[in-house]
Structure 1
Amino acid sequence: MDKPAETTPGSWRDELKTARHTATGPIDFWTQSRFALSRRGFLFGCICGTMSVPCSMLISGAINIDRCPYQPLVPIWMIVGGSVALATMIANALDIGLYWCTNRGPGHDLATQIINGITAVVILFLIAWLIAGSVWVWGIWRPDTSDSTSATFCYAGIYYYAFAMLIVGYVVTAGLTMCCGHIFCSDPPNRTVSP
């Protein structure tokens, strides 16, 4: 029978537990946990790995810009959504890289605050963009994907990819909302203050 992985001293689990106990609030916990994971290369790997999705949205939208005359905003939604998501991921990757290079020097805290503020605004924009995409993509329910001379034509590749990205976007938004709700709404553990 397999035993669950035990936490070894200095593991990422220990660092997350320490971050949870020493954080002064939810934002501080997010920052500490993000850097605890980035020291292991985990977060940087996740960011780089998931960059393929916005890149594919951007490329797919650009290649098929004129292939959905029934709703020309579908490829534009893909281009803008992919570009903004990619820029946000690059900014967060640079923030992690800055952390590694400066070892949290005095300038890093200000840079992190600026990047976190911009990221928050961009996330709100992406949620609004997700809603706009829902109107544009789902508003042309079942377009003609075979006859390119039809007035209701939209290339199947761009339409179904946008359709799938909307579903993924809502799933990710719901998952992040639940995680943030847990972090922000849970009671902090008992903290002992040393003299």
Structure 2
Amino acid sequence: MAEDMEGISTPLLLGTQASPVHPVLSFLGKVVFSALPIASIVIGAMYLGQCPRQALLPYYLLVGGSALLLLLLLTCLPCGDGTESAQLSPGARGWRAVFLLFLFAWFIAGNVWVYSIYPLQHGNPGQPDFCARLLYLFAFWVTTLVYIGLGAALLVALCIVGCLLLLRSRLPWLHRGEADP
């Protein structure tokens, strides 16, 4: 909390009344983003029991897709009554943290299940080392795309930090607390 001239305490970061993103764009983004979890659910359900080499692979897609879709749907719920800035209650934040921790653990387990049978040997469907090609390739690329996305986000963040540091060194008015020569 910060105090102004009159001694009134105000929060350092004020909540915004409206989202900076237009509601139509937000809705379209959620529809586009929901395509991958829906595809995961469909492929996991279609190929249930068709990967004896790694029987948990369809469940990885089913549970992961369902959890991501649920998380996406929960972002559509209003967080407040519109009279004050929308804040999640501490209990809701705790449950969201537990849910995200579960998703992280499920992703790590899926990594073990997907990459432990790499490279996939295409065999006879009756063999114990068989795994449906589409099921495996979809799970493999979904998992790999998560790593590509994380790497791209890290690269963008490092570029932003580098640009900010470069700007700070080049612009004299950004040097706080230093004496001017």
Superposition TM-score, scaled by structure 1 size:
0.64
Q: Does 1:43 align with 2:26?
A: yes
Q: C-alpha separation between the residues in 1 aligned to 2:145 and 2:113? A: 16
1:24-173 paired onto structure 2 within 5 Å: 24=12, 32=16, 35-37=19-21, 39-95=22-78, 102=81, 104-106=82-84, 108-110=86-88, 116-173=93-150
- Amino acid corresponding to residue 60 of structure 1 in structure 2: I
Deviation readout 1:19-74 (Å, 9 max, x if unpaired): xxxx945xx7xx7599211x343222211211010011011101111100110010
The structure-2 alpha-carbon separation of the partners of 1:180 and 1:110, relative to structure 1 and needing over 3 Å to count, comes to farther
Partner of 2:169: none
Evaluate the alpha carbon distance shift between residue 152 and residue 131 of structure 1 in structure 2; reply closer, same or farther with a 3 A threshold.
same
Task: Give 1:118 shift.
Answer: 3.5
- Determine what percentage of the aligned residue pairs are the same residue: 24
Shift in alpha-carbon separation, 1:133–1:121, aligned structure 2, 3 A: same
CA–CA distance in 2 between the matches of 1:70 and 1:43? 40
CA gap of 1:78–1:60, structure 2 versus 1, over 3 A, is same
CA distance in 2, matches of 1:154, 1:34: 49
TM-score, with normalisation over the residues of structure 2? 0.68
For the 8 Å contact 1:34–1:43, the answer to whether it is kept is no
Larger % of helix: which?
1
After superposing the two structures, state which structure 1 stretch, 83-92 or 129-138, moved more: 129-138
Task: Report the secondary structure of 1:109's partner residue.
Answer: coil
